[in-house]
Amino acid sequence: MSKKYLTNKLTPILFASTALTSTWASSVDCRVATGGLSECNPYSSRFIVAKEVKYDKQNKKLIDVRTLPNVHKTSVKVVSVIDMVENSIKVEKSIRYMGGQDRELEDLNIESAEKKSTLTLSKDTEERRALTLDKLTKMQELAYTNFIKKVEELQLEVISENNLTTDINISIAKKEDIAKKEEIVKKEEIEKKEKIVIKKIIKDTGIYQVEKGDSLITIAKKFSMKKAKLKELNGLKNSSKLKINQKLIIPIKQALLDIISSAEYAVKSGDNIGSIARKFDLSSKDIMKYNRLHKRSTIHIGQKIILPFPHKIAELKKKKRSRIVSTRGKRKLRVTATAYTSHRGQTDKTPFLAAWNNRIRPGMKIVAVSRDMLTRYGLKNGSKIRISGLPGYYTVRDKMNKRYRKRIDIYMGMNRRKALRWGRRSVMLYY
């Protein structure tokens, strides 16, 4: 440790000591007190304590934190040795310088004092013991009575709790039974509702069997539905393929579904062409056209009428095309075609009776042919022929006069005006 450091540390201590001497100069140090003084200064020593040393970073030097002793009194009473001995020390007679009698008396006094003290102590202890015993008995009695009361209260509480628990258990059991009954009733009601809904669904829905050439789009168009709804009802996906005779659910009654799918209606009592057209939202003209009927035509019960739905019209067109193709591959012949009706001026006395005793009526698609068509060109009674410019097939049911060659006569029923409009035409005959 350097000298400079020591000088720096000791100089403030010396300075502080000088300050203390100046403050306590008037009082006398207790170490130098004499018999005549009554007070002295116990803190006459000059010192100071360095409690903590810190380092100042900014100034780059050590700083010591100093604290002086906490001086409470500036002076202390001075007591002489004689006063101290007289006040605090009890001086007894020395036994060594006492006589025999004095000693005996002293011993007797001591024994009597001891006996008295023991007697008083025993009486006090007995009294205290009796009091404590009384107190203890009373406390025990009180504790016992309190304990019994608490036990009784606890028993009552337990009994009440048991009653409450039993009541609660009974109420819970009743509630559970009621809840179970309510659940059963609710389930039964739901089942009834489901059955009613299922019955309604069964009544209002039908089953359609997939046919050859059907697809989801064609089936949806057939029943005026959307493809998405049809898939949703039947749980189908875009990638799912249909199979022949696969059953699909359609939201239409079964009877109506069968009529729409077949596009045929069996006439019932009270039906006419107008009522049938209104029932299926069709025009009566289309019904007459596709069934070869006219205004005066009569329909009878059980008669099957073609309903010109879009899918049926497309089907009929396909059939016509296939027939035309097939007939073109067979025999064909150009002939002269005329028309006739069931009037006496154009027939004999039996206008509704043709050759080979065939009965005819208006609306039938029949023709009469010249006799050379029967002998030379291979036609006969009942042959099916197709005439260019006219739809459908005609049946050979009558024959003409012998004078005609390569000629046919088309039957127009009772419509004379239609026959006159037809007149005479050159047509191609396929058979």
- What pLDDT is recorded for position 30? 65
Do 398 and 409 touch, CB atoms closer than 8 A? yes
- What pLDDT is recorded for position 238? 76
- 317-430 placed in CATH 3.10.290.10: no
Domain ranges of the chain: 3-88, 99-204, 206-312, 317-430
Beta-strand pair 206-209/247-250: antiparallel
Distance in angstroms (rounded) separating the CA atoms of residues 386 and 331: 11
- What pLDDT is recorded for position 79? 66
- What pLDDT is recorded for position 428? 93
Do 335 and 427 touch, CB atoms closer than 8 A? yes
Digitized pLDDT (tens) for each residue of the chain, 431 residues in all: 444 444 444 444 444 444 444 444 455 666 665 556 667 766 655 445 555 666 677 776 666 555 555 554 556 666 666 666 666 655 555 555 455 555 555 565 666 665 555 555 566 677 777 777 777 777 777 877 877 777 777 777 767 666 666 666 676 777 777 877 788 887 777 777 666 655 555 556 788 888 888 888 888 888 888 888 888 888 888 777 888 888 888 888 888 888 888 888 999 998 998 899 898 888 888 888 888 888 888 888 989 898 988 888 888 877 766 554 444 447 899 999 999 998 877 777 788 888 888 899 999 999 999 999 998 888 999 999 999 989 999 999 999 988 999 999 999 999 999 999 999 999 999 98
- What pLDDT is recorded for position 38? 66
Taking the CA atoms of the chain, what radius of gyration do you get in angstroms? Answer: 71
Q: Class of the 206-312 domain?
A: alpha beta
- What pLDDT is recorded for position 242? 85
Do 367 and 411 touch, CB atoms closer than 8 A? yes
Distance in angstroms (rounded) separating the CA atoms of residues 285 and 293: 9
- What pLDDT is recorded for position 13? 44
- What pLDDT is recorded for position 22? 41
- What pLDDT is recorded for position 394? 95
